[in-house]
Structure 1
Amino acid sequence: MTDRIIAQGLGWTIARTDVADTLVPYGQSPVRDDGTQNYGWIDLRNRPDLVSEIPELRKSQGLGELVRAMAAPASQVMSGGCECSEFARDIDPPISVGGFVTVMFRDVERNRSPDTFVTLAEYLLAGIEPTDQHNIGFEFIVEPLKSFFGHEGCFGLMVKPFGSGANSNQAWAAFDYAASALARSLTRHRRQRTT
């Protein structure tokens, strides 16, 4: 496995891996030993109304907003998978919430170059509003896909917002802010065209 950092700054990283972990579509998995389950891929393209049916997205309003923005009819991208969870850390602040959405373009040919996803990560970062109220961070990992609707040689972008706080409520609020900020960044040019 080779991971390499492409760009990094305070609170954000853009990296690339050569490990292919994602395929679209994919089926439901059995329940894991810890009680969690992958429910399988649901086609949300042009169906933002279905986001509320995704069990992983019921945990976070912000992550739901991000996936809803990807599912909108005007979107050029789509989601391939998502998850979020809380975990304790040995540093201050002690509680963190992390999550991910795997993003790819709806047009298969736009998924052929990893550079396209570096540009997408830079675009998303450029539209995120700074905050003094939340402790947030972002990772963007360009990854090869196992398969994209049967097409080989495609890539995707794992978008990973993070939030942390002194307690669970603060950490989830920070995470929701980070994920919502990504949704606003993704749709900022769509909103400008309608005004």
Structure 2
Amino acid sequence: MKYSFIFGFMLTLLTLTAHCQTVADITQIALMKPGNDSIGVVAGDSAAQLIAILGEPDQISDYYSEIDEDTLKLYKYGKNNIFFLHDKLVNWDLSDSGIWVGAVHGQTFKVGDKLVSQNQNFRQKPGTRPTAQFLGFPVTHKTGISRNLHFDSACVLQLTKGAIQLDSRVELLFDRTNKLFSIALLD
């Protein structure tokens, strides 16, 4: 009986470990003007706050979202798209380095950055690629397609707001040269 309890406990512990996800707090992920990490705009902020920080967009248009079943306002900054629903920032899709992402007064990153940290996993099988990290977050080396974009590696951060788990995520996509080519806040 004692051994079955220990076995059950270990099996549960291993199962929970296997289902752990990388999480980040949405209030710590800001969009910033390049070179200025002292102020940023986060999900839920208004379009006026965005313009105060990033300046006037190249274009503003309406965008119908089938998921939200509503019309969003799309603010374009170069190849970067920022979406608002009822004047609240809800999603963004960044494809050029004209906007930085990160924590205000903290670590930032942008499209074009490269994977630089390769950590060898002590349980790694011979012949497999080392586990990569981008700013401390694990990166999966598995090719795929997301949002009609082909990628060679990806990092997906599940989002929370304090202790509340959200249905949103931040997705970082890397090409075969380990260059970050897409950063998106998705719901």
Structure with more relative contact order (C-alpha pairs < 8 Å, separation 6 or more): 1
TM-score class, shorter-chain normalisation, is: 0.3 to 0.5
Whose helix proportion is higher, 1 or 2? 1
Using the size of structure 2 for normalisation, the TM-score is 0.34
Using the size of structure 1 for normalisation, the TM-score is 0.33
Instruction: Report the structure number with the largest CA radius of gyration.
Output: 2
